[in-house]
Amino acid sequence: MRELRSDALVVFGVTGDLAHKQIFPALFEMEKRGVLKTPVIGVAFPNWSLDRLKRRVADSIRHAMGGQMSRSDQRTLDALLARIKYVSGDYTDPATFVAIKQALHGARRPAHYLAIPPALFQTVIRGLGAAGLAKDARVIVEKPFGRDLASARELNRVAHAAFAEDSIFRIDHFLGKEAIMNILYYRFANSFLEPIWNRNYVSSVQITMAENFGIKKRGAFYETAGCLRDVIENHLFQIIALLAMEAPSTRDYGAVQAEKAKVFEAMRPLRPADLVRGQYAGYRKEPDVARDSDVETFCALRLYIDSWRWDGVPWYLRSGKCMATTATEILVELKAPPQRLFADSQPKHGRENYLRFRLSPDAAIALATRVKTPGEEFVGQQQELFLCEALAGQEMPYERLLGDAMRGNGALFTRQDAVEAAWAVVDPVLKKHDPVHVYKRGSWGPKAADALLGPGGSWHNPGADVENGC
């Protein structure tokens, strides 16, 4: 079934924010490129007319384009709207799934996209199975894939009762970004990197994903998730997998997924001492947030991968809201030369040579190296060899991921064993941890996070402590 393209797309939660902000614009771009060749059946509880849904789709596209649409864009929008059907119904009512089957009008290989709250995943999957809508079909599940190891296993059990593993596509839009995909390419397309990409030459790896805004009226959601579940366990763990994995035998998605899963399985389970949680000042005054909330809006941790390549190398992860800037960067710091031949070889910022990946807001790769300054003395300075990537024309993450799922290409999705192995790493600290540290808005988080790096260690603050760059 893998090589067969889905012949219909069913979008559960079609009236929600995710569909309006991400899915409709992605479908529009797919229509523009001529790769959307199937009907799109929207499903949701509100008793809307088809015309009302189409108006919402059109509003989404116009908003995504800043209100500027050419005649060609309008033709594309008209073509997309002609594909759309709507089924209104309760997900717990078998009649809803009967109506979906009728709307599919004989399609045999539909892709069911669950753009709905996680609490409804199991309900819809069971409904699809009971109605015979899972046979030869695919299901696309939005993160989070459970709240802990036990719930992830239960979700996988329910999903496998209706769908084969290679028909389950666990979608994380982060993996569809061009800069994320470039990590895999850069690692295995360049021969100079492999000899130093190990415990013998790498002293530490830092990953920071900072956002300068708060929870944006998502208090109810954040109270059930927190930064560790929402960002660290999925987004940042996926970056680690790409950085730490061994070379797959082929580019086939099965080989890539197998190597990524091995990274998660080799991660040492976290202890409370490996974790610092923070909460920005004023979070408890946000709508739908408990006045005594201990939910973290910032999380920093120290992680080890017990493998031959990475034994003893600390991985430092940090993410938070209301921080000094919005950026995501990776800093791979290399060990010092074995002999200090030159007295000035200590870098200005206290770092040795490093490789820096900037993933957002722009994409860049930089290598920090020491260069001799002109003159008779052996005096130098650390400079970055800097490549800023132009990503104009790149596919939107949801456009790429939806297209891949409908083609049956699972390379950018997450496999069951990887999901469960990742939860096993964080499970010990989901409930057993220290209280949150309150931190100032616009800062780099609580000072307590500095202790994770040990004496003399310091966090790399994206855009704040490099000598050259964008």
Kindly report the backbone phi and psi dihedral angles of residue 124, in degrees, each rounded to the nearest multiple of 5, phi listed first.
Answer: -70, -40
Kindly report the backbone phi and psi dihedral angles of residue 466, in degrees, each rounded to the nearest multiple of 5, phi listed first.
Answer: -120, 150
Give the whole-angstrom CA distance, residue 319 versus residue 297: 8
Q: In 3D, which of 29, 264, 263 has the Cα closest to residue 145?
A: 264
Query: What is the 3 state secondary structure string of the chain?
Result: CCCCCCCEEEEECCCCHHHHHHHHHHHHHHHHCCCCCCCEEEEECCCCCHHHHHHHHHHHHHHHCCCCCCHHHHHHHHHHHHHEEEEECCCCCHHHHHHHHHHHCCCCCEEEEECCCHHHHHHHHHHHHHCCCCCCCEEEEECCCCCCHHHHHHHHHHHHHHCCHHHEEEECHHHHCHHHHHHHHHHHHCCCCHHHCCCCCEEEEEEEEECCCCCCCCHHHHHHCHHHHHHHHHHHHHHHHHHHCCCCCCCCHHHHHHHHHHHHHHECCCCHHHEEEEEECCHHHCCCCCCCCCCCCEEEEEEEECCCCCCCCEEEEEEECCECCCEEEEEEEECCCCCCCCCCCCCCCCCCCEEEEEEECCEEEEEEEEEECCCCCCCEEEEEEEEEECCCCCCCHHHHHHHHHHHCCCCCCECHHHHHHHHHHHHHHCCCCCCCEEECCCECCCHHHHHHHCCCCCCCCCCCCCCCCC
Which of these is catalytic: 235, 433, 437, 460? 235
Instruction: Residue 175: count other Cβ atoms within 10 Å of its Cβ.
Output: 24
Contact predicate 417/409, CB 8 Å: no
Tell me the torsion sign for CA atoms 223, 63, 49, 136. negative
Active site residue 173: no
Residues in the chain: 470
Instruction: Residue 388: count other Cβ atoms within 10 Å of its Cβ.
Output: 13
Instruction: Residue 394: count other Cβ atoms within 10 Å of its Cβ.
Output: 16
Give the whole-angstrom CA distance, residue 168 versus residue 154: 15
Catalytic residue numbers, as ranges: 235
